[in-house]
Structure 1
Amino acid sequence: MFNLAEMKDTIKIEPSGFRKKKAQAITDEINRKYANKVLQDVGLCIAMHDILYASEGFIHHGDGCSYVTVHFRLVIFRPFVGEIITGKIRSCNQEGVRVTLGFFDDIFIPYHYLQENSEFNADEQVWVWMYDENEMFMDLEETIRFRVESEQFFDTSPSVRPKKEGVDTPDLSANSAKQAPYSLTNIELLFLRFEWCIDVMAPSC
């Protein structure tokens, strides 16, 4: 679920950070720049893991900031396809169930990946698994286990319209819809409440 990704970047350290130790100042700036950001085809950045190399800082004339070339590793959230993860139900609609891990919410289980004989209760806005004559409600905040079937990256940077009268204009409306830059899709629900297994499915558990 978590991986390490090697990166190389030039890190800007403001004069206010000069009183810190060099490693701490670099760490703070890298975390400020990368933490909770999605890198295309890499994953969700959690935090800096370690510094592999840092050059001497050099100062540009005019701004007084120190610029350091840093080779470092980031902790990345990117589950592999087939991995089994535990999460909580965040919301439900007729299309399926949205799951959260606390730090990551863009996980969606389509309705056809739910248990067989599952129905959507429009009044309660939850899915219900009909097991024999029992109604098993998939309540919000319920802990579940699921298998990752696929992932999706989406470039959320503004596109550029064709030139009009010699001027390039960013097309901010092209990606105006709130599309998550990284999401887990086609999730297969494997296991619901442990109590259900004990109370209802005891013969098979």
Structure 2
Amino acid sequence: MFNLIAIKDTVPVAPKAFGLDPALCIQDALNKKFANKLIPDRGLGLSVFDILTAEDGRVTWGNGQMYYKVSFRLMLFAPFVGEVIVGKVLSCTPSYIRITLGFFEDIYVPPSLLPPNSMYDENERRFFWYSGEQDLDATALANTLKSERFYYDPGEPIRFRVDTIEWHEHEPGPPVDRSQTTEEDEEKDPKEKAGYVILANVSEQGLGLTNWWDEAGDEYEEEAE
């Protein structure tokens, strides 16, 4: 889920920081540039892991800043397809279940990657899974007892498998006047705005809310006793 990549870059340090430790100034400048930024086709930059080399700083004419040529290692969030991860359910819409890891929230479970006998409950505004053995149609699922349904509750830990990783390029548009934005603009689907999207699969045995399988294990132990 986390990788290290080596990068070479030139870092500017402002004159007001000349009296400070250069290593700290360089690391701070690198984190401002790369932390929480997408590295195309690689992953999400988290923080500088360490600085490998740094040449003597040079002051250029014009702005008085000190420039350092450095090589360093950056920690990335870069899960691979097939990796199993535990996050938390963030929200549900009829189009997907959204999952958060705390520092990354563009993880989505579309209905096609839910287990059989799954359905969106319009009243509860959540997806649920009915664990019956037979495959039911939408009408039959809608008539199942709520006590027999397993709902994807927001805030609950969920185990998923990375199914697909998508990169989307968004062309920068004209400057937006925030005072003129409408509620529709503010409520635009976050999946459409994301540049880095993970599609998650919870249709396999052991995936889904972790407490489902904990409860199943407890019941099995009780029956064995």
2:98 is paired with a residue whose SS is: strand
Give 1 or 2: higher strand fraction.
1
Give 1 or 2: higher helix fraction.
2
Kindly report which structure 2 residues correspond to 1:79-158, keeping only aligned pairs within 5 A, or say none. Answer: 79-132=79-132, 134-158=148-172
**Match of 2:117, as an amino acid?**
N
- The Cα offsets for residues 79-108 of structure 1, whole Å up to 9 and x where unpaired, read as 011100000111111112110000000001
- Work out the CA distance in 2 between the residues paired with 1:195 and 1:84: 16
TM-score computed with the length of structure 1 as normaliser: 0.85
Ranges in structure 2 where 5+ consecutive residues have no aligned partner: 133-144, 176-184
- Equivalent residues of 1:121, 1:127 under 8 A apart: yes
State which drifts further: 125-134 or 59-68: 125-134
Q: 1:54 to 1:200 in 2, by over 3 A?
A: closer
Kindly report which structure 2 residues correspond to 1:2-81, keeping only aligned pairs within 5 A, or say none. Answer: 2-81=2-81
- Equivalent residues of 2:160, 2:208 under 8 A apart: no
Shift of 1:123: 1.6
Matched, 1:188 2:201: yes
TM-score computed with the length of structure 2 as normaliser: 0.78
How much is the aligned-residue C-alpha RMSD, in angstroms? Answer: 2.3
Ranges in structure 1 where 5+ consecutive residues have no aligned partner: 159-170
- State percent identity of aligned pairs: 36
- Work out the CA distance in 1 between the residues paired with 2:198 and 2:2: 14
1:27 is paired with a residue whose SS is: helix
Shift of 1:124: 1.5
- Work out the CA distance in 2 between the residues paired with 1:198 and 1:81: 25
- Work out the CA distance in 1 between the residues paired with 2:42 and 2:210: 34
Tell me the number of residue pairs that the alignment of Structure 1 and Structure 2 aligns. 190
